[in-house]
Structure 1
């Protein structure tokens, strides 16, 4: 390793997961060509890696904010390209980084044309900011994880409703000043489930509103994929929901019949496995397998969001290959507009795929689908999808802050 070449991550080697960094290399030879590599091992032990070749300027410097990659995992100027293009050594693998207490560790290194390491540094990408608390919760019929910001509050409350349990998004929202309870819509093993119940989720809402630092009288819900239609149902049927962020979801209740107060409130919209399209990668396209919720025989599964006393943010990727979330979003907006309602806003992202997450994680083109039990293509063009995640993350925070207010008097009474 060269003692002169310097690799720096600015403003620091240590940052929050959703913060960009500036990668700079100095003390190279004038116009020297080097390869910058990144690697990270996920929570399942899978190695992800990326690389890009750069030419130093006349002073021997490279700045990824300014300079273009000549070849490798991406080409052109892209400051966070090495993180976006981290790829697994096996096909159809999702990067698993869901435990909030453990940072996302990424090793960056600079290599000469003989692949000798000239410099290296490790980026520690934290999910939890200093002072944020994490507590596992098991109350009544639900279990999840509660994240609370530092300080006395009051803070708005958010229910992070997951299709697959993850702490990542909840921890990152707690860093922004929200009390967040994250839990899966599946409170039992999916293979054992014949139906879904809203009652445990209602218990979770009540629990969240009773937290000492919570100052809002009602909660927001953030959701994606299958959990997005459950979030719509909570807003339509259960008291206490002020706002819903719906990401890459359906307008109907999918996969399992939905129950509340010991009665079925919505049947399930199902899918036709014969309409799944195979591809050469081994992953399938599921977009055209879902039954049409607007056909007469399926209309009973459509969630009656028009009866919800809540604000909605609909987020739809236009290249979703899992299901047709853009069409579902347009249907819901038209239905609300027809009734004269204005309690919604929307954003759609061309060339973005189904799997929209907080920014600066590896792009996932395909991975196992829990319902089809086989790998599926999620869609999206990697670079455009990554830009959509950055924009979406800002819009989500703005929406949540504008639609859930805090009542200091209520908080004082709790304390």
Structure 2
């Protein structure tokens, strides 16, 4: 069952300010989880007064993300972002309760909003201005956290396994999930911490460029990921007999490989992943999956110095490339594919359909495939703004990622719920057999 987006573990303390004009801007609660809805109201305006709502967030590197919404007060001099339509001329239009968040854009080009230290919140700053522009009428702030009250973060240094385990509040045991990110390397914990708030014991797993792990993407051993699975299966706070896997981009083909070769996996969710092994050789015992080849001639340049790499990878179904194809037909777990129709990184829809074909050929159950036509590659938890373009570490140049801001935002809200529902259904069900 989907948990409330406003958990009781965080206090509902409003933050607001009243300027000399008597205008009051209120955001409720003053502290919440990052993926929670936005509730913002304004009182004390003149009936029909035109105003602009400015939203700002500074990331951990001090880079500013901002958005502007144009509004008109109702006949009582009030507006409610959840009901009042935003007018033309701002970052979003129409009734968009979370519009101030998902429409945030970086002041510095090629910047993607991330959260590396989940122990501290992001602070959103809101200010209300008259239109035409003038001095602020009122302001307010809201802290958005990644770890709710009672969630614990446990650094993992178990054998070769490196990462962070996030445990929900309470005695447990809890459904267990391993979360694997893409090609950026290091350790990113924001998805794992947010899932722990929803009742999942979640391991954010590093696999290269972190501590004593390999420094680059040349070759990976699936035995490392097998150790991580066994770590979770043996943990007293993790509900057995099987765990879940969540992977995005490169993490998607890694979790598909895990599901295809390893035991103890009950459910695997793939977000815009490949059905071929990508970028680095993968070995497991006497099995080798070479990285799928590329055709650099298919690189497109939608604007000077920025690439579109969506057609660069070779087709893994062609005979010459089949050695890179992950044998998905071997997987015995439930599978969920989250697919963006405007993914400019690679052909996520084709890969999901290929996985369906491979499973059908093996006589396996058809997986669940959820398709979002106008979403881009970086489908994140709710309220992360669309990353339109950024530097691709492996390609060595900026690339576009695809997606339309509003449609992408709606895909994030829907897919985040579906992923939680998927794990709740299949992990808890498995544990009761």
Smaller-chain TM-score range? over 0.9
1:339 to partner: Cα distance: 3.3
Could you say which residue in structure 2 is the equivalent of 1:413?
Answer: none
Q: What are the Cα deviations for residues 62-90 of structure 1, in whole angstroms up to 9, with x where unaligned?
A: 11111111121112221111111111112
Give distance in 1, aligned partners of 2:155 and 2:86. 43
Give distance in 2, aligned partners of 1:317 and 1:72. 26
1:186 to partner: Cα distance: 2.4
Give distance in 1, aligned partners of 2:339 and 2:207. 20
Give distance in 2, aligned partners of 1:408 and 1:387. 32
Q: How many residues align?
A: 408
Could you say which residue in structure 2 is the equivalent of 1:303?
Answer: 326
Q: What are the Cα deviations for residues 229-260 of structure 1, in whole angstroms up to 9, with x where unaligned?
A: 11111111122111110110111111111012
Give distance in 2, aligned partners of 1:176 and 1:336. 30
Conserved 8 A contact 2:276-2:326: yes
Out of 341, 363, 385, the residue aligned to residue 318 of structure 1 is 341
**What residue ranges of structure 1 are gaps of 5+ in the alignment?**
411-415
Could you say which residue in structure 2 is the equivalent of 1:200?
Answer: 224
1:395 to partner: Cα distance: 0.5
1:50 equivalent in alignment to 2:67: yes
Out of 261, 280, 283, the residue aligned to residue 256 of structure 1 is 280
Give distance in 1, aligned partners of 2:124 and 2:170. 30
1:8 to partner: Cα distance: 1.1
1:343 to partner: Cα distance: 5.1
Could you say which residue in structure 1 is the equivalent of 2:96?
Answer: 78
Could you say which residue in structure 2 is the equivalent of 1:210?
Answer: 234
Taking the TM superposition and a 5 Å limit, the aligned residue runs for 1:107-118 are 107-112=125-130, 113-118=132-137
Out of 167, 172, 196, the residue aligned to residue 194 of structure 2 is 172
Normalising by the residue count of structure 1, what TM-score does the alignment of the two structures yield?
0.94
1:14 equivalent in alignment to 2:20: no
Conserved 8 A contact 1:252-1:302: yes
1:295 to partner: Cα distance: 0.9
Give distance in 1, aligned partners of 2:26 and 2:412. 25
1:280 equivalent in alignment to 2:303: yes
**What residue ranges of structure 2 are gaps of 5+ in the alignment?**
1-18
Could you say which residue in structure 1 is the equivalent of 2:57?
Answer: 40
Give distance in 2, aligned partners of 1:225 and 1:190. 19
Give distance in 2, aligned partners of 1:333 and 1:400. 20
Taking the TM superposition and a 5 Å limit, the aligned residue runs for 1:111-126 are 111-112=129-130, 113-126=132-145
1:406 to partner: Cα distance: 7.2
Give distance in 2, aligned partners of 1:407 and 1:339. 22
Conserved 8 A contact 1:109-1:117: yes
1:130 to partner: Cα distance: 0.5
Normalising by the residue count of structure 2, what TM-score does the alignment of the two structures yield?
0.90
Give distance in 1, aligned partners of 2:217 and 2:416. 32
1:352 equivalent in alignment to 2:388: no
Conserved 8 A contact 1:185-1:230: no
Most deviating of 210-219 and 173-182: 210-219
Give distance in 1, aligned partners of 2:396 and 2:214. 11
Deviating beyond 3 angstroms after TM superposition, the runs of 4 or more aligned structure 1 residues are 187-193, 406-410
Could you say which residue in structure 1 is the equivalent of 2:247?
Answer: 223
Give distance in 2, aligned partners of 1:287 and 1:407. 37
1:148 to partner: Cα distance: 0.4
Could you say which residue in structure 1 is the equivalent of 2:406?
Answer: 383
Out of 310, 313, 316, the residue aligned to residue 290 of structure 1 is 313
Give distance in 2, aligned partners of 1:331 and 1:206. 29
